[in-house]
Structure 1
Amino acid sequence: MADYAWRYGHEGVDLEELSRLYRIAPLGHKPPEALATVFGNSRYTCFVYAADVLVGAGRALADGGDCAYIADVAVHPDHQGRGLGADIIRKLLESARGHKKIILYANPGTESFYRRLGFLHMNTAMGVWADPERAVENGLLRPET
Structure 2
Amino acid sequence: MHWTDDDSRIDWQALSHLYRIAPLGDKSAEWLKTAYANSRYKCFVYDGDAVIGAGRALADGVDCSYLCDIVVHPGRQGLGLGRQIVERLRDLSTGHRKIILYAVPGKEDFYRKLGFRRMRTAMAIFGNEAAAIEGGIVDGD
Coarse TM-score class (shorter-chain normalised):
over 0.9
Aligned positions of 1:49-64 closer than 5 A? 49-64=46-61
Percent identity of paired positions between Structure 1 and Structure 2: 51
- CA–CA distance in structure 1, aligned partners of residues 33 and 112 of structure 2: 30
How far does the alpha carbon of each residue in 1:113-145 deviate from its partner, in whole angstroms, 9 at most, with x for none?
A: 00000000001001000011110111000122x
Partner of 1:67 in structure 2?
A: 64
Shift of 1:9: 2.9
When normalised by structure 1's length, the TM-score is: 0.95
1:94 aligns with 2:91: yes
Partner of 1:84 in structure 2?
A: 81
Question: Structure 1: which 5+ runs fail to align?
Answer: none
1:11 aligns with 2:8: yes
- CA–CA distance in structure 1, aligned partners of residues 105 and 28 of structure 2: 24
Partner of 2:103 in structure 1?
A: 106
CA RMSD of aligned residues (A): 0.7
Partner of 1:115 in structure 2?
A: 112
Question: Structure 2: which 5+ runs fail to align?
Answer: none
Partner of 2:29 in structure 1?
A: 32
- CA–CA distance in structure 1, aligned partners of residues 8 and 31 of structure 2: 15
When normalised by structure 2's length, the TM-score is: 0.98
How far does the alpha carbon of each residue in 1:93-116 deviate from its partner, in whole angstroms, 9 at most, with x for none?
A: 011110000000011100000000
Letter of the 2:109 partner, please give it.
Answer: S
How far does the alpha carbon of each residue in 1:48-79 deviate from its partner, in whole angstroms, 9 at most, with x for none?
A: 01122110000000000000000000000111
Q: Which runs of 4+ in 1 moved over 2 A?
A: none
- CA–CA distance in structure 1, aligned partners of residues 93 and 6 of structure 2: 14
The answer (yes or no) to whether the contact 1:9–1:44 under 8 Å persists in 2 is: no
Partner of 1:126 in structure 2?
A: 123
- CA–CA distance in structure 2, aligned partners of residues 111 and 65 of structure 1: 26
